Structure formats: C-alpha cells, structure tokens
A and B are shown apart, each in its own frame.
Chain A
Amino acid sequence: MINSIVIVALGIISISMLLLIYRVVKGPSVPDRVVALDALGINLVGVVALISIVFNSFAFLEVILLIGILAFIGTIAFAKFLEKGVIIERDRDA
C-alpha cells in the first residue's frame, strides 16, 4: 500500500521537475531561471525523502537537510549577484 503511494508520489514529483526544467531552459529572464532552480532543489528534497522511505533507512536525512541549505544559499547568492553584480563585497578600506 505505502509503496504504491510512494511510487505515485515519485512520478508526480518527476513530472513537476520536468516542468521546472522547461522553465529553466526557456525562462525569458534570469530571475525566472533562478526561481525554477530553487524549486528544483526543493523537489529534490522530496525525491530523496521518498527514496528513503523505499529503502526504509534513516541514513539520507542529512542529505535532505543539506539540499535545503544549499538551495537557500545558492538562491541568496544569485539574488545578490543580480542585485549588486558581486557576491562577496570587498572591504571598502582595502
């Protein structure tokens, strides 16, 4: 029972990822692509979680957390890059 639900959920997530990839490739502006990539990352979290259920294992929960953090940092970095042109600002005194 639970297995078939997981497989259905995996299928749905895959479809949503494909649609997001379409947006990444097509996306008329850069912010469109960045948002799509961020959402892709979160979908990836779902995929890993579902696979953990399939494997019946706790070993991948760190992976889930890590993807969350990386997606957040990446999106912030991109946003800053789009806003200011640089990611890490130089010290003004130097």
Chain B
Amino acid sequence: MTLLHLAILSPLLMALIVPLFYKVAKNVHTGWFVLILPVLLFSYFIQFLSRTSKGETITATAEWMPSFGINFTAYVDGLSLLFALLITGIGSLVVLYSIYYLDKHKESLHNFYVYLLLFMGAMLGVVLSDNLLVMYTFWELTSISSFLLIAYWYHRERSRYGAQKSMLITVFGGLSMLGGIVLLGIMGDTFSIRELLAQQDILVSHALFIPALLLILLGAFTKSAQFPFHIWLPDAMEAPTPVSAYLHSATMVKAGIYLVARMTPIFSESSLWIWLVGGIGLLTLMWGSFNAVKQTDLKGILAFSTISQLGLIMSLLGVGAAARFYDYNQYYVAATVAAIFHLVNHATFKGTLFMVVGIVDHETGTRDIRKLGGLMSMMPITATIALIGSFSMAGLPPFNGFLSKEMFFTGMIRVIEMDIFNLSTWGILFPIIAWVASIFTFIYSMILFFKTFTGKYQPEKLDKEAHEAPFGMLLSPIILASLVVIFGFFPNLLSQSIIKPAVEAIVPAIKESSTLKVNIYFWHGFTPELFMTFGVILLGTLLYVYSSKWTPIYSKIPEKLSFNTVYDHGLISMERGAFSLTRRYMTGFIRTYLVYIFTFFIGILSFTMISQGAFTIDTSELAPISVYEVVLAVILVLGTVTILFAKSRLTAIIALGSVGYSVALFFVLFKAPDLALTQLVIETVSVALFLLCFYHLPRLSRHEERTSFKFGNLLISAAVGVLVTLISIASHSQKMFPSISEYYVENSYKLAGGKNMVNVILVDFRGFDTMFEICVLAIAALGIFAMIRLRLTRRSEG
C-alpha cells in the first residue's frame, strides 16, 4: 500500500465520511468539504508529469489475492496520467459547480457526493490499474455509481428509466469485457496489461484472439456509447447537470476510449480491430451528429454531440492503429496524436457546454430551445462562455476544436493512401463521412448557441425571469472556457508534457523507432484539410440559415426505426416471452413435471448406456429357477396388473396389499426371515393407512372410474420399465469385483458376538445408517402429529 494506492482509494474512503459532514455541519454546503479532495489529488497527479514526460513509468503493487495472481498494481504512464488529470481536474470543477447548482436544503447532498466520490474513485481505479481484473472491478463500480447518479432524482419516472437503461447496457458490455479479459488471461497466463503486451506476438496467433478482441470491444463500445449502444446516453441526461457534465461527457464515456487505447498495442495486428474501431467510430460520428440536429432539448443536443465526438476519437484510434503496418511512420501516427488531443479538447469544451446548459436551465427554468432565445443581453458572461464552447465544438479558429478537427481531417485523408485490408478501395469513404459529419457538427453547434442566446426573448414562455447566474456557478465554466482558448492559442503546452507520453503508451514501439514530433500549429499552408474546413463552414452556414427548408426530413423518418424502439420492444418482448415460456411449461400439475423428470431420466440414461455400449447380457452366473418362484411371480404380476386396471380404489388397495404379501413370501423363498417379518407388519400397517385415506375421501369427488388411459403415459412408463430392466441385467452381467459379504460371514460372531448377521450389520458394522433411519421415523411421526394437531387448532380457532 503506497501513497499512489491511497490516492486512488481516497475518494472511496472519503465517501464513507461524507454523510458525517452532512449531518454535523448542516449550515455549510457539503460540497466544500468534498472539493478539497479532487483538488489535492489533482495537484498530486500533476507532479508525475515531469516523470512521464521523460518516458518514465511508475508502478506500485499492493497484494490483494496473490494466490490467484490478482494484485492491485497501480501503473502510471502517459495515457493513464492524462486520464487521471482529466478525472481529478474536471472533478474539482464539477464539485465546485455543483455547490452552486444544488440547493443545500432541498437536495439530499450526502447521497449526491457519496455517489460522486464513489464514481471518482472507481474511475481513477480503471485508468490506473495494471491488472485487468482489478480494472474490471473498478469498471463495474463506475457502472453502479453512474446508475445511482442518473437516478439521483429517483421520484421521477424518466430518471429511473434512464438509470435502468444505462445500467442494463453498460453492465452487458462490462460482462462481455470480463469474458474478453478471462480469454486474455488464458492466452497469456497473466492479467497484467504490461506482461500481456510483452507477449503480443504469441497472443496474435492464438485461437482465442478474435473472440477476446470482439468481447473487449463490446465492453468498450457500450461504455463509450458507440453505435448502436449509444441509446443509453441521451436518456442518462435525466441526471443532475453536474453529473452529465462529469460522467457523460468528460470521464465515464471515455473509459471505453481508454480501454481501446490501452489495448491497441495488443490487438492492432488484426484487420478486424482497425475496421471495427475505425468503422464503428465513423458510423457513430455520423449518426450522432445527424441526430443531434433534430433535438429540441439542450441536453439532448449535447448528448448526441457527445456520442458523435466519442465516435470521432474512436475512429482516429482505429486509423492510428494502422500505423503499425507502416513502420510507425510519423505520418500515420498523427491520427493517434489527434485522438489524444481531441480527447482533451472534448473534455474541456463539452464540460463547459454542459455547465452553460445547466446555468440556462437554472436561471430560466427550461432547456427547450423552442422557448429560449435572446438571452445574450441578460446573461452576457454565460453567452460568451457558450460561444467559446460551441465554436470550439464546431471546429472554428481560434479555439482548440479547430486544431483537433484539422488533425482529424489529416488522419482521415491519409486512410486513402493506405493499401492494407481493402482500405485502398473503401478507404475513400473515411474522409467523406468525416466531412459530412463535420457539417452536421457545425450546424448543431450553431443551433446550440444562436437559438439560445440570440433571436427574440420570450419571457412569457419561461418559468422565471432570466438573469445572470451567480459568480460561483460561472467560475468552473470560465476556467474550462479559458482552457479552451489557452489550448487553442498555445497547443504546444500540452504536446510535450501530456500528449507525447500518452501517444507513446498507445504506440509503444514509437519510442525506439523514431522521434515523435507532436508540435501542433494553426497554419499548415494551403492543405486539403484547410479547404475541407472552409467547405464545412460554408455549407454549414448555408444549411443552418436555410434550416427550416430541410429539417422537415427528420419528421419523415419514422420514429419506429430508432434503436430506442428496438430496445424498448426487445425488453418488453423478452419479458413477455419469458413469461409465456414459464407459463407454458410450469403448468402447476405434478403429472406434467413427472413427465419431464421421467423423460429426462430416460433420455440421459439411454444416451449414456448406448454411447458407452454398456448393454450386455451374460447368463453364466444365473441361478436355476424353481417352481415356487414361478408361481409366486405369476401372482405378483397378476396383482400388479389388477392395480392398473382396477375400476375402484378399494380393489387397487387390496391388490397392492396382495403384492406386498407376495413380496414377503419372496423374502421367505429367498431366505430372508427378518425382511419377511418386517415386510408383513409394514404392509399391514400401510394397507390400513390406505384404507383410512380411502375412507376419508370427500364424497362429492368420489367417482370410481378407470384410470384414464393416455398413450404418452403408457409410452413413458413402458420405457422406464424396459430401461431399468435392461440396466439391471447389464449391471448383473458385468460384476467386476467379488462381494465383500464374505467378511461379514466370517466376522459377525468372531468380532461382534452375534449369530444373526443381518442384525449385526444393522446395529454393529453399519450402525450409523440405522441411527439416522430411526431419526427419519421420528421425524415422520412428529410431522404427522404436527400436521394433525395444527390443523385441528386452526379449525377450532376459525
């Protein structure tokens, strides 16, 4: 347990004592206490920067389950440090924002901050764990805490729906990821990411490589809201806005990105990886930006924009993975650089925008863009921040979004030149889709800003009089927006310290092969990317200005074709299907269940016997048959057949008694006097009990008729009889060992002092069985007594 471990686990420990603060210091907003921790953690993590930028990595191990090879190894390299800084940095700002956003008296703050701290700790654990199983543990903790945060206002039906949906989808992905992790563990015999990396060439040729790849990608895609698993993210917008800003834009949805980036060195050998990550990423980018335009809720726009931006980062990671096939050429690694740079940029501007939307909601009482407008003069600071955020998101200079958009285009254009995995034919689609999606990105960014802050002010539609937010609430978005501008003007602040080590973690081979240059400039000259950006701005502006002309196409697309419909109907029909299946086979009739049991019994036994070739008949050791046995057997069979065809219950009982007495006679014939004695007494008693039951049957339903004949029952009972007969013949024919009864014959007098061998076995050699059978009888007697007594008392009370 080192300081690093303590740092990772400190939010979880802090979560334990937060309710105490809430109870004791009622007059102080609980958030102020919480705020200390992420700030401390941020300053703690920032001191690692100097070491990781030199290419160093830091590891620390704490034993957890060493016998299973599962230890909590914390591992800090460029990539995990980048994420840790995002988590703690934006975490501090979000906590600060939430102090002003959530009311001290109306909200249950202790719940909120406990969940938030749980989430923060879990997220730190995910990005800083080297052991995959430990990472999975934290991964599920992020799912659970996200579930709790989405349903923070649990009295609202939509919140509960959103929480359930996100839980189902992310846990589905998490479990698939666990499957992938276990497969990786089987292949490499370790769960450590670094050790798996070292044996990457063994893993690639392994048969389980592709299944592991698919399962892990499934986990990453569900968490990062990639197509078609993006549907949970828009519904998660029911959470409080600080939560949306933190979880659903900056951190949790990037866990999938982190996983893909982390696994890239292992899996990028496969064409499937590059096609899936790149292709699904582009599809998500397109689908998200296309759907964002039609949203009328500000958070809805931001949710779909998050989906599309995550797709963008994902597609860049996919394209960047292809660099391996070009000797890690600087030229192709640029896509990975762009991915990391955009990851940082997205966290800054999307956090800003969510906070702005939260302010607008807080100050006007609505988030519907049809009701909003003309807020610029009333909320000038908010409007400025929103302008910075949305123009950065649209990819306009001089903000950081412009830079990463340019790099994105560069990465996509280079796909055309690749000649691997059919990319030479289909690769041309990459830049085209990217360009079209960017136009839509531009449009929704403009909608977000201009529909909210310009136009006509409509006070009659708003719940409150609009006015500027308090300074404390504005503080966090101001910090984030100034980061947007700073990264925009001085991108190289990041490049050496953060981006370079992170890229080296994703593409480890680059450390040796070449010197990575990650300098980012505004001006590259008149490149195709620049003209693509001009095109985006031109077409985007035109489409935005004339949006009323073409947006009706959205209403043409039927609502039924969405993935939400698929999800909802899938859930309902699954429930219905399970219900009707259960109702069909759980009939409530014992006879049906007996049919299942016997059919299963027949099936499994005959399959085993036939597949093992175990049916044999050997007559060499059989004893001769005497005439008494034949006569007695005939009587027995006659009695049995009488039971089956008896027309009244009385006949059946008498016939059953005759069977029992014949068995007693068989015991006599086979020289078992003790058995014969017991059998006679027991048979008499049980026939008497049967008669008792028969006598007490209710009069009304006492219709004496033949057992109704059913062909299926006949078949099953005949099959059971034949099978058991065959098995007993076969087992008699194959005696492998002599019996141990010789020992009892010799020793029952010598050792136990008894001449009756049966009784000596019962009470001496194997007395334990007898003891417990006495117990059985005692339980039966007590049970009968209890049943009769309890029923009698109830009747007397009633």
A16 at the interface (CB under 8 A from B): no
Q: How distant is the Cα of A51 from the Cα of B667 in the complex, in angstroms?
A: 12
Interface size class of B (residues with CB under 8 A): 10 to 19
Q: How distant is the Cα of A91 from the Cα of B330 in the complex, in angstroms?
A: 105
Contacts of B680 in A (CB 8 A): 63, 66-67, 70
Q: Which of B660-688 contact A (CB under 8 A)?
A: 661, 665, 668-669, 671, 673, 676-677, 680-681, 684, 688
Does B681 lie within 8 Å of A62, measured CB to CB? no
Does B684 lie within 8 Å of A63, measured CB to CB? no
B68 at the interface (CB under 8 A from A): no
Q: How distant is the Cα of A66 from the Cα of B661 in the complex, in angstroms?
A: 13
Q: How distant is the Cα of A55 from the Cα of B676 in the complex, in angstroms?
A: 15
- State whether A74 and B684 are in contact (beta carbons under 8 Å apart), knowing that A51-B628, A51-B668, A55-B671 are contacts in the complex: yes
Q: How distant is the Cα of A73 from the Cα of B685 in the complex, in angstroms?
A: 11
- Interface size, chain A (Cβ < 8 Å): 18
CB distance from A51 to the nearest CB of B (A): 6
Interface SS, A side: helix
Cross-interface CB contact of B669 among A14, A24, A51, A66, cutoff 8 Å: A51
Contacts of B668 in A (CB 8 A): 48, 51, 60, 63
A79 at the interface (CB under 8 A from B): no
A2 at the interface (CB under 8 A from B): no
Does B677 lie within 8 Å of A70, measured CB to CB? no
A5 at the interface (CB under 8 A from B): no
Does A60 lie within 8 Å of B676, measured CB to CB? yes
B631 at the interface (CB under 8 A from A): yes
Q: How distant is the Cα of A5 from the Cα of B693 in the complex, in angstroms?
A: 44
A1 at the interface (CB under 8 A from B): no
Q: How distant is the Cα of A62 from the Cα of B668 in the complex, in angstroms?
A: 11
Contacts of A14 in B (CB 8 A): 631
Does A57 lie within 8 Å of B671, measured CB to CB? yes
Q: How distant is the Cα of A85 from the Cα of B628 in the complex, in angstroms?
A: 40
Does B681 lie within 8 Å of A66, measured CB to CB? yes
A39 at the interface (CB under 8 A from B): no
Chain A CB within 10 Å — which of B669, B673, B677, B681 has the most? Answer: B673
Q: How distant is the Cα of A2 from the Cα of B789 in the complex, in angstroms?
A: 58
Q: Which of A73-94 contact B (CB under 8 A)?
A: 73-74, 77
Contacts of A66 in B (CB 8 A): 677, 680-681
CB distance from A82 to the nearest CB of B (A): 13
Does B628 lie within 8 Å of A60, measured CB to CB? no
Q: How distant is the Cα of A47 from the Cα of B677 in the complex, in angstroms?
A: 15
CB distance from A44 to the nearest CB of B (A): 7
CB distance from A41 to the nearest CB of B (A): 9
- State whether A62 and B665 are in contact (beta carbons under 8 Å apart), knowing that A14-B631, A51-B628, A70-B684 are contacts in the complex: no
7 contacts between A and B (CB under 8 A): A60-B673, A62-B677, A63-B677, A63-B680, A66-B681, A74-B684, A77-B688
| 14 additional A-B residue pairs with CB within 8 Å, beyond A48-B668, A62-B677, A66-B681 | A14-B631, A44-B661, A44-B665, A59-B671, A60-B676, A62-B673, A63-B668, A63-B673, A63-B677, A66-B677, A66-B680, A67-B680, A74-B684, A77-B688
